[in-house]
Amino acid sequence: MHDPRIIVALDCPSAVPALELAARLEPALCHLKVGKELFTAEGPQLIEQFMQRGFEIFLDLKFHDIPNTTAQACKAAATLGVWMVNVHALGGRKMMEAASAAVAQAAHPPKLIAVTVLTSMAQEDLSELGLAATPAEMVLRLAQLARDSGLDGVVCSAQEAPLLRQHCGKEFCLVTPGIRPADAAADDQSRIMTPRAALENGASYLVIGRPITRAADPLQALQQISQQIGGMA
């Protein structure tokens, strides 16, 4: 089956605008990312509705708990039938191994990826937690731990993608937000990259929100980006 490179971030507060937006997109051209706000407000029913419309879902809930609880949450996500789910790598090896084993038992295992260091965290935030490494060192360390724990990939910035690609291998899935077409506003993203450049840097999937969701014509924006990266798999 065709596997589009674009994941549209549906950062909506409730089902009505989210469904309206999905109706203006095309499952052949994108996956959809549902995060904590929308999922907490609307729950699994909305996920079902997206899937009925043919969309594959990245459930971006960033699970982080003791191994058994995280594994059960991942199993529940797999049972829902989502395409991708994620956990915090800071939960550690045992948590990630348990999560990996849990999704592997599903009839259709979702891709299981990890968040390494939140991009909102700077050096001083890590120091305050007692972590001496730089954010870049932590990202690499946690990505390697995620891979060694059986996960399929990580969320990372496109700037980090070449290093992670080099150290984690060509099969490792790199999911990159902070993507902006050349003519789009940066919004609140500080280190941005164009869709083409991100893929050239080694990204596997591009998480794109506002350049598509806030466009006057979301489908046209999606089609344009798809054309820009056409043929890059």
Residue 194 sits in the site that holds ligand C5P (CB under 6 A) = no
- Residue at 93: amino acid letter: R
- Supply the minimum distance, in Å, between the C-beta of residue 189 and ligand C5P: 5
- Residue at 114: amino acid letter: A
- In this structure, what token pair is assigned to residue 226? 């798809």
Residue 11 sits in the site that holds ligand C5P (CB under 6 A) = yes
207 phi, psi to nearest 5 deg: -90, 120
Nearest Cα to Cα of residue 165 among 135, 134, 137, 143: 143
**Cβ-Cβ contacts under 8 Å for 70 (sequence gap 6 or more):** 63, 64, 87, 91, 95, 98, 99
Q: Which of 9, 47, 59, 74 binds ligand C5P (CB under 6 A)?
A: 9
3-state class (DSSP) for residue 164: helix
Asked if 29 contacts 222 with a C-beta cutoff of 8 angstroms, the reply is yes
3-state class (DSSP) for residue 33: strand
Asked if 58 contacts 84 with a C-beta cutoff of 8 angstroms, the reply is yes
- Residue with the shortest CB distance to ligand C5P: 209
- Supply the minimum distance, in Å, between the C-beta of residue 203 and ligand C5P: 13
Residue 164 sits in the site that holds ligand C5P (CB under 6 A) = no
**Site residues for ligand C5P, window 24-83 (CB under 6 A)?**
35
Residue 177 sits in the site that holds ligand C5P (CB under 6 A) = yes
Asked if 139 contacts 156 with a C-beta cutoff of 8 angstroms, the reply is yes
Residue 119 sits in the site that holds ligand C5P (CB under 6 A) = yes
- Supply the minimum distance, in Å, between the C-beta of residue 23 and ligand C5P: 19
3-state class (DSSP) for residue 126: helix
Whose Cβ is closer to ligand C5P: residue 94's or residue 165's?
165
- Residue at 9: amino acid letter: A
Residue 187 sits in the site that holds ligand C5P (CB under 6 A) = yes
The C-alpha atoms of residue 16 and residue 138 are separated, in whole angstroms, by: 39
- Supply the minimum distance, in Å, between the C-beta of residue 209 and ligand C5P: 2
With CB under 6 A, what is the number of residues at the site for ligand C5P?
A: 13
Which one of 77-85, 91-99, 102-110, 201-209 is the stretch in contact with ligand C5P (CB under 6 A)?
A: 201-209
Our answer to whether residue 62 is catalytic in this structure is yes
Which one of 16-24, 64-72, 164-172, 208-216 is the stretch in contact with ligand C5P (CB under 6 A)?
A: 208-216
Residue 155 sits in the site that holds ligand C5P (CB under 6 A) = yes
- In this structure, what token pair is assigned to residue 44? 């699994």
Active site residue ranges: 62
Return residues touching ligand C5P (CB under 6 A). Answer: 9, 11, 35, 119, 155, 177-178, 187, 189, 207-210
